Amino acid sequence: MIIKTPLFIVFEGIDGAGKSTQALRLYNFCNAITPTALLQEPTQSKHGQTLRKMLKGEIQGTTEELLDLFIKDREYDVEHNIQPLLQKGIVVIVDRYFYSTAAYQATDIVTPDVIVTMNINKGFPVPNRVYFIDVEPSVALKRIQNRSGNNREIFESLHILEKIRKNYLSLVNDTFAVIKGYNYDEETLFKYVLHDFTQHFITE
């Protein structure tokens, strides 16, 4: 079994969708076959750390400031992590990428597709595959409440999650594999991810 490399895979979804769990499972599968890296955005760069504080409401920031920080943090991630790893032929799996920025930071003026175009124009690499774990916002919100108590982020409300999910769905193209995450347990969900991954990126 051989994984076609270099390979760039992204997991996306609203908060509570289970994307981080699925990203970790695919990482474990790939890493048993070939060197694999699992990354997450925001990163631990100074921009990423500021972003995390803003997302938790610890410090205030406008939509424009958030978008600018996401771009700067991604510049760091691409330069220091993603591109060097891909150049070494390593499988790179990222938990959130510029589709998250587009879905979460979009406004009536700056639409999701405009934000994606901004990122592509920056020269950020386009993933080979995007696994969008699609979950009903009401289901996702229940999961968030069960796991986090009062440690919630500023986007974690039903109305906002519904808008974010709609933004995500507007971005779906041939690069996306939309996995319906709310009807299946973790194990079954990964079977769907792995089936798609095997079809596209594994040779015997």
Reduced DSSP (H G I as helix, E B as strand, rest coil) percent helix, strand, coil of the chain, to 5: 55, 15, 30
78 Cβ contact partners less than 8 Å away, ≥ 6 residues apart: 123, 124, 125
Question: What is the distance between the alpha carbons of residues 10 and 176, in angstroms, rounded to a whole number?
Answer: 9
**Along the 204 residues of the chain, how does pLDDT read in single tens digits?**
899 999 999 999 998 888 999 999 999 999 999 999 999 999 999 999 999 999 888 888 888 999 999 999 999 999 999 999 999 999 999 999 999 999 999 988 899 999 999 999 999 999 999 999 999 888 888 877 776 554 555 566 788 899 999 999 999 999 999 998 777 788 999 999 999 999 999 997
Q: What is the pTM of this model?
A: 0.92
Q: Name the 3-class secondary structure at 14.
A: coil
